[in-house]
Amino acid sequence: MKFIALIFFVFSSIASAKSNETQQWTQLRHTQEGPNEPEVFQREYIVTSSELHSAVQTYGVYTCVALVIYDPQTKQGLLAHLDSGVDLNSLRFLARDFDLKRMKISILGGQPTDSFNLHQKIKNKIQELGGHVQLSLFNRAGSDMSLRLNLETGEVSFYAERLPSTPPDMALAKIQRLKYESRLYRHPESIGGGDLIDPITLPIESGFPLPY
């Protein structure tokens, strides 16, 4: 009887986890992107507010993971696109810039079969810094995510990339810099500014593979 009860408990736990994951997926709507929304590239983050931007976005989150932090009181938010090359200790600035205990925090993306387990490592780091993750959602097998953060409401949603707002030469420069450093870059349109990029002086080599 104990063995049967154990099997029932295991299957019930699996069913409950799948039900919870489905419920979390249904929380995220599909929305339409607006013009000139700042795009966060791989190994980059933006800190901004509803006074500056209505929304921010990042696309192609596959094995990478998106971190979203939102302050409902100030309508200020952070969107980061993290890959396995990022030193997660660089996220310590979050505890300085945000009162993480009262923030709405979401971690989205990564593959459930990823042996590096970037998703869980980011979650552990946020908890270590005093934050509580309200939404933790992996990609479905073989799929990726494109995500928007509405800075007026704090809603995180899916979207289809149709209106790229980053000039092609700037986009190529952001991809190319991944080859030289593993640090996390700050988006130039962040509050207080960010890392500036000069596409003219940064060499752009054809055929450089974008790491996922």
Residue 202 domain-assigned (yes or no)? no
Residue 172 domain-assigned (yes or no)? yes
d(CA 31, CA 90): 31
Residue 194 domain-assigned (yes or no)? no
SS3 (DSSP) at 76: strand
Residue 20 domain-assigned (yes or no)? no
Residue 208 domain-assigned (yes or no)? no
Q: Which tokens go with 81?
A: 């696109």
d(CA 164, CA 177): 19
* Per-residue confidence (pLDDT) for residue 182, from 0 to 100: 84
Closest CA to 176 of 43, 84, 35: 43
Query: What separation in angstroms does the CA of 147 have from each of 93, 130, 177?
Result: 23, 25, 23
CATH number of the domain to which 162 belongs: 3.30.1330.200
Closest CA to 158 of 1, 30, 62: 30
Give mean pLDDT in consecutive 10-residue pieces for the chain, a chain of 212 residues: 48 43 67 94 97 96 96 97 93 93 96 86 96 94 90 96 89 90 93 84 49 44
3-state helix, strand, coil in the chain (%, to 5): 30, 25, 45
d(CA 191, CA 196): 13
* Per-residue confidence (pLDDT) for residue 208, from 0 to 100: 45
d(CA 159, CA 181): 29
Q: State the residue for tokens 């009162």.
A: 99
* Count of structural domains within the chain: 1
Q: What is the DSSP string of 107-162?
A: EEE--TT-TT-HHHHHHHHHHHTT--EEEEEPPPTT--EEEEEETTT--EEE----
* Per-residue confidence (pLDDT) for residue 53, from 0 to 100: 97
Residue 2 domain-assigned (yes or no)? no
Host domain of residue 71: 41-186
Q: State the residue for tokens 């200790």.
A: 89
- Which residues are CB-contacts of 67 (< 8 A; sequence separation ≥ 6)? 45, 78, 79, 80, 82, 91, 105, 106, 107, 122, 126
* Per-residue confidence (pLDDT) for residue 17, from 0 to 100: 41
> Is the separation of the CB atoms in 59 and 146 below 8 Å?
yes
Handedness of CA 169, 175, 176, 182 (dihedral sign): positive
Residue 3 domain-assigned (yes or no)? no
Residue 15 domain-assigned (yes or no)? no
* Per-residue confidence (pLDDT) for residue 201, from 0 to 100: 52
